[in-house]
Amino acid sequence: LIAEHAAALFANTALAGKRVVITAGPTREALDPVRYLSNHSSGKMGYALARAAVEAGARTTLVSGPVGLATPEHVERVDVISARDMLAACQERSASCDIFIACAAVADYRPAEIQDQKIKKGGEHSSLALVRNPDIVAAVAAGSPRPFTVGFAAETRDVLNYARDKLARKNLDMIVANDVAAEGLGFASDENEVTVIWREGEQALARAGKQTLARQIIQLIATHAGQPQ
């Protein structure tokens, strides 16, 4: 605890004056007025990053899907439900921010149609037509001007290779890779273990509480975002 407090004190100017936008939590994609597709993201990592960004002196905005977490102090919170809502909220803010961290677990697909009325049961088998959601972090990274753009890769296998590919393919500046299949880690957990990858290097961060990891990630972002790209 003393070490954590000391870390917070030393970190407190790393992002002074910077504007940081962080997405967090899942998105929910409606099928009809009562049903939706979603995922198990708790939002804890994104919220921990927001706290760490505030500690580092940044003006911090959370664009948050539906989660059961309190808004961290000194954080502006924008609540959204669907991936398209989240994209709109991010695009409004991405050109005027310095750092964009896409920590949300955005649904890759949404139902192709949203029914106005509750869908009635039909036969034994059915199928749900899906359409790809917008790729929020790629859209932000493709902007001009663009912030220093950080993605997350939550995977259940071949995590580092997939993360390196995603970094290049989406033109990100940094990506945080974590294995959500590892026991006791990932979505609902309070601990995590990640590898932070940028163009010229990477750093593994050992298993730790999400708030401790968040501070380490924010320090890495501050170091690399300050360098000419």
Phi, psi dihedrals of residue 213, rounded to the nearest 5° = -60, -40
Both structure tokens of 108: 């890759």
Is the CB of residue 189 less than 8 Å from the CB of residue 208? Answer: no
Q: Which stretch binds its own copies (CB under 8 A): 6-14, 102-110, 202-210, 217-225?
A: 102-110
Contacts of 117 (CB under 8 A, 6+ apart): 32, 33
32 or 202, CB closer to its own copies? 32
**Whole-angstrom Cα distance, residue 111 to residue 29?**
7
Contact status: 109 vs its own copies (CB under 8 A)? yes
- Cα torsion at 98, 99, 104, 105 (round to 10°)? 120
Active site residue 39: yes
**Closest by alpha carbon to 42, among 90, 101, 119, 104?**
104
Q: Which stretch binds its own copies (CB under 8 A): 2-10, 101-109, 202-210, 214-222?
A: 101-109
Contact status: 180 vs its own copies (CB under 8 A)? yes
29 or 55, CB closer to its own copies? 29
Kindly identify the residues of this chain, within the stretch 114-133, that bind its own copies according to CB under 8 A.
116-118, 121, 123-132
**Binding pattern to its own copies, positions 37-56, x when CB under 8 A?**
xxxxx---------------
**Whole-angstrom Cα distance, residue 35 to residue 27?**
13
Question: Binding-site residue total for its own copies (CB under 8 A)?
Answer: 38
Contact status: 70 vs its own copies (CB under 8 A)? no
**DSSP-derived secondary structure letter, 76:** E
Q: How far is the CB of 57 from its own copies (least distance, A)?
A: 33
Q: How far is the CB of 123 from its own copies (least distance, A)?
A: 7
**Binding pattern to its own copies, positions 189-228, x when CB under 8 A?**
----------------------------------------
The neighbouring-strand residues paired with 155 are: 179
Residue type, 39: N
Contact status: 107 vs its own copies (CB under 8 A)? yes
Overall size of the chain counted in residues:
229
**Whole-angstrom Cα distance, residue 131 to residue 84?**
12
Contact set with its own copies (CB under 8 A): 31-41, 68, 105, 107-109, 112, 116-118, 121, 123-132, 154-157, 180-181, 187
